[in-house]
Structure 1
Amino acid sequence: MSQGERELQEKFSTKRRADAFYNNQMIDYLNEHMIQFIQRMQFLFISTSDESGHCDSSFKAGDPGFVYVVDEKTLMYPEYRGNGVMASLGNIVENPHAGLLFIDFLQDQVGLHVNGRAKILENDQLKNLIKQTEIDKLAQFHQKRAERWVVIEVDEAYIHCSKHIPHLVDQKFLEDRSVDEPSKNTGDYFKVKSSHD
C-alpha cells in the first residue's frame, strides 16, 4: 500500500473498509485459485513506467494458458513480434515495477491484480528458471513465436471485484467477422496514420 492510499483513506473515512480489504483479500503470492484463474485467461493488461514515472499500459493476449505460472511467486508471459516500439519492455529496463490486470469478462466477471517486479528473459535464458521439458512444451504451445519472456516476481495479488465488470460474449464462437470488418485487421484502425497524410 502507498502513503497516498493511506492519506486518502483518512481523508474520506474509508480506512476501516480498506483495512478489511488488505487483511482479507490481498496476499503476497498466488494461491491455487489464482493460478487456475490465470491459466485460463486469454489476455492481460500490463502497466509500466519509466524511471521518471511516465506511465504506459499495454494489452497482451494469446491462447488460454499463454501466461505460464512458474510457482506461487513467479509467472511469465511471452512477447510476440509486434510493432517494434517495445514500450513496456523499455520501461521495465528502467523500472522493474509492473502491474498486471487479468479480467474474466466472459464467465465469472471478476478480475485479478498481480503487482511485482519484472525482468526480461531471452529464450536461451529460460533454462535458468524452468526445466528443459517445460521449455520444450512452451515452444510447442506458442509455436515458437515467443521472441522473449517477461517474468514477474509477485509482490501482491488481489481481487478486482465483479461489481462493475460487464458480461461479454466471445464472438469467435458465434461467427467469423473478420471478412465483414477488414478495418479491424489493419494497424490504422483509429486512423492515426491517415491523419498525417
Structure 2
Amino acid sequence: MSFYDEHHRALQDHFDSRALADTLQAITVQPELDTDTAEFLASREFFFLTTVRSDGFPTVSHKGGPLGFVKVLDPTTVAFPSYDGNGMFLSMGNIAATAKVGLLFIDFETPHRVRLHGEATVSADDELLGEFPGAELIVRVA
C-alpha cells in the first residue's frame, strides 16, 4: 500500500509539493518503532485517538493515563488501557467495527509529534488488563 493515494498526489501536483511530500515521507514514515520513539510514547500522559464507524464517520478522542500507560510490546505493536469516561464507548465500538485507528502523541513544549496508524483490537480479557487498575479494556494496535 502506498502512503499517498491519487487524491493526495493530485493536490501535491497542483501545489507543486510532490517532491517535498516524498522527502517528508522518506524521513518521517517508519515501518517499526525505534527505541527513541518507544521512550517518547512512554513519556506521554495522553494522546489523541481517531477511529472510524462502520459507515465511515470519524471521531477523535483524548486518551490519558499515568506515564507509561502506552506500552510498546514490540517494534510493530503498542497497547493501551481503556477507562470508561462517559459510557458511550465510541472509540472502542468503532475499533470493534472497523479496526482502523490513528494515534497522535504530542509534546507541546517541543515541536515533537508521533503519529501511529494501524489496525486495532479491543479485548476485555487481555493479559495486560491486570497492569492497569480500573481499566475495562485493552487495545492493541499493530
Judge same fold: TM > 0.5, yes or no. Answer: yes
User: Which residue of structure 2 lines up, in the alignment, with residue 139 of structure 1?
Assistant: 130
Q: Deviations over 1:65-94 (max 9, x none)?
A: 111110110001101122110001111122
Could you tell me which residue of structure 1 aligns to residue 80 of structure 2? 77
Cα deviation digits, residues 148-192 of structure 1 (max 9, x gap): 111100xxxxxxxxxxxxxxxxxxxxxxxxxxxxxxxxxxxxxxx
Q: Which residue of 1 aligns with 2:25?
A: 22
Residue 61 of structure 1 aligns to which amino acid in structure 2?
A: G
Shift of 1:53: 1.1
How far apart in 1 are the matches of 2:111 and 2:53?
31
Shift of 1:125: 2.9
Distance 1:24 1:80 in 2: 35
Residue number in structure 2 paired with 1:86: 89
Aligned to 2:139: 150
Q: Specify the SS of the correspondent of 1:28.
A: coil
Instruction: Give the Å deviation of 1:2.
Output: 3.4
CA contact (8 A) 2:126 2:138 kept: no
Q: What is the number of equivalent residue pairs in this alignment?
A: 139
Task: Provide Cα deviations, 1:101-153, integer angstroms capped at 9, x if missing partner.
Answer: 000113x331110000011022x332xxxxxxxx4xx735x3x2111111100
Q: CA RMSD in A?
A: 1.4
2:114 paired with 1:112? yes
Larger Rg, first or second structure (1 or 2)? 1
CA displacement at 1:7 relative to structure 2: 1.6
| Residue from 65, 69, 82 that aligns with 1:66 | 69
Give runs of aligned pairs for residues 123-138 of structure 1, distance below 5 A.
124-126=125-127, 135=128
- In the TM superposition, residue 51 of structure 1 has moved relative to its aligned partner by 2.0
Instruction: Provide the rounded CA distance (Å) in 1 between the counterparts of 2:95 and 2:87.
Output: 15
Is contact 2:119-2:141 (8 Å) kept?
A: yes
TM-score by length of 1: 0.67
Q: Shift of residue 39 of structure 1?
A: 0.5
Give the percent of matched residue pairs that are identical in Structure 1 and Structure 2. Answer: 32
Q: 5+ unaligned residues in a row in structure 1: which ranges?
A: 127-134, 154-197
Give runs of ≥4 in structure 1 deviating > 3 Å: none
Could you tell me how far apart the structure 1 residues matched to 2:45 and 2:55 are?
31
Residue identity matched to 2:10: E
| Distance in 2, Cα, partners of 1:2 & 1:90 | 28
What does the per-residue CA deviation read over 1:11-50, in whole Å, with 9 as the maximum and x for residues that have no partner?
A: 1110000111111211111111110100100100001111
